[in-house]
């Protein structure tokens, strides 16, 4: 199994702008990337980080630089793949070795773990004709593409893999459900769980 | 197995106020309740809807009225339960018979399916001393309560059960991942998936 972890190295996580400044967003996104890489390694596969520019990474992965748009960079690798290939997003801070092992073991020509809002957060591809299209509601698009090429599809139902950390409201999930670098990063930056009026979010002490 | 589906019948789903008027919120919440009941029935158990006031329900469940706060109404039933008891929230519109069967079969004295923001969306209780407290970050509270009474705990990792439909941003998940009454209700009301600027939400035609 090949596991690709795409990483947009330049100006990552712009939708976290209300919570983190640009340098913080870069640093936090690297922490999430390292957590994802660690979880993949502990699931038994050394992943390849496909980064838009060179990144230093304190975790066990090979890094290749590919500055093409995400879908093209992934599809180029799917086209040449000689074994099953998984694509795991770099902001899945809640990923654990356990859920990734289940994902990599799940049967089906194409296994899709949806994210909130119709995204595709993780994917296993075992069919030679399947290609990705991460634009828009990619979850539905990927189901359709699989049907079109005659590939069997399996939905992978996981809260951990559905939770990409995109917006300030997502940060609380990192505090609640993880114990890796991304959580440490948030704690060091002064974030804590904040419950009020029946809603739970984060609050930051500066 | 006893399956309880608590339902707050009066002024449900106030956090959907930006998308739906009060009568719509009531009607939509009933559609979600009926979908949840159907999914439980298809998972093999006829559930008991514990409603704060009398409701007519076009689905196969017994309805009991209990106007006490949620945690007290549930705990009173846990205290007297002679068999394992599950508690499934009425707004889990993405619940399927398949994921509910997996939940009811999952081992552990206490099985907890977290919701976003630290909530507890579904729960199986097989330990006589375990009690619920749905206030605040109930997921962490429930882990602690289980530890305190010496109950083994299992986290149930499911996107479908983690997705309670609380806010307008959640409505798109119903359109993307279900085919029940709640989805039909949204379509009849003019909602459709709206993708723009890399974000996916709903748009309403009136």
Q: Do A118 and B162 touch (CB under 8 A)?
A: no
- Residue B54: both structure tokens together: 């009398």
Interface test mutation site (partner A, options B103, B111, B159, max chain A beta carbons within 10 A): B159
At residue B53, the pLDDT reads: 95
Structural domain includes residue B40: yes
Among A118, A158, A193, beta carbon nearest to B172: A118
Quick one: which H or E segment has residue B158? none
Q: What is the mean pLDDT of chain B?
A: 95
Question: Does residue B206 surpass a pLDDT of 80?
Answer: no
Residue A146 within a domain: yes
Quote the percentage of chain B above a pLDDT of 90: 91
Contact assignment for A158 to B159 by CB distance below 8 Å: yes
Return phi, psi of residue B139, to 5°: -60, -50
> Nearest by CB to B158, which of A117, A158, A169?
A158
Answer yes or no: do B137 and A200 touch at CB < 8 A: yes
pLDDT band at A116 (very low <50, low <70, confident <90, very high): very high
Q: What ipTM does the predicted assembly reach?
A: 0.95
Beta-strand relationship, A48-51 and A2-7: parallel
Q: Is residue A36 part of a domain?
A: yes
CATH number of the domain enclosing B14? 3.90.550.10
Which residue from A64, A55, A68, A66 is spatially nearest to A29, judged by alpha carbons?
A55
Is residue A18, in this structure, part of any structural domain at all?
yes
Evaluate whether residue A13 is within a structural domain.
yes
Question: Structurally, how many domains does chain A consist of?
Answer: 1
Contact B97, B176 (CB under 8 A): no
Query: Which DSSP letter does residue B34 get?
Result: H
In a domain, B197, yes or no: no
Q: Show residues of chain B in contact with A160, CB under 8 Å.
A: 157
Question: Quick one: which H or E segment has residue B144?
Answer: helix B138-148
Q: Which residues is B204 bridged to in the sheet?
A: B191
Residue B189 placed within a domain = no
The answer to pTM > 0.90 is yes
For A96-111, what is the mean pLDDT?
98
Which of the 8 DSSP states describes residue B11? S
Boundaries of domain holding A96: 2-166
In a domain, A176, yes or no: no
**Residues on chain B touching A117 (C-beta within 8 angstroms):** 169, 172-173, 199-201
Query: Which residues numbered 155-184 in B keep a CB inside 8 Å of some CB on A?
Result: 157-163, 169, 172-173, 176-177
């Amino acid at each position: 199994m090949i596991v690709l972890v795409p990483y947009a190295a330049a100006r990552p996580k712009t939708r976290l702008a209300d919570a983190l400044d640009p340098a913080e967003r870069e640093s936090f996104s690297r922490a999430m990337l390292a957590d994802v890489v660690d979880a993949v390694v502990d699931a038994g596969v050394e992943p390849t980080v496909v980064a838009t520019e060179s990144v230093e990474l304190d975790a066990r992965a090979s890094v290749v630089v590919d500055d093409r748009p995400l879908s093209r960079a992934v599809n180029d690798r799917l086209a040449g793949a000689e074994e099953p290939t998984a694509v795991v997003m770099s902001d899945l801070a809640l990923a654990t070795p356990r859920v990734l092992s289940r994902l990599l073991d799940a049967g089906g020509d194409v296994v899709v773990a949806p994210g909130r809002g119709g995204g595709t957060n993780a994917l296993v591809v075992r069919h030679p004709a399947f290609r990705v299209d991460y634009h828009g509601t990619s979850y539905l698009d990927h189901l359709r593409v699989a049907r079109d090429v005659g590939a069997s599809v399996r939905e992978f139902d996981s809260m951990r893999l559905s939770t990409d950390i995109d917006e300030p409201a997502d940060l609380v999930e990192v505090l609640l459900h993880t114990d890796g670098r991304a959580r440490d990063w948030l704690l060091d930056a002064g974030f804590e769980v904040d419950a009020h009026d029946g809603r739970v979010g984060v609050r930051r002490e500066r």
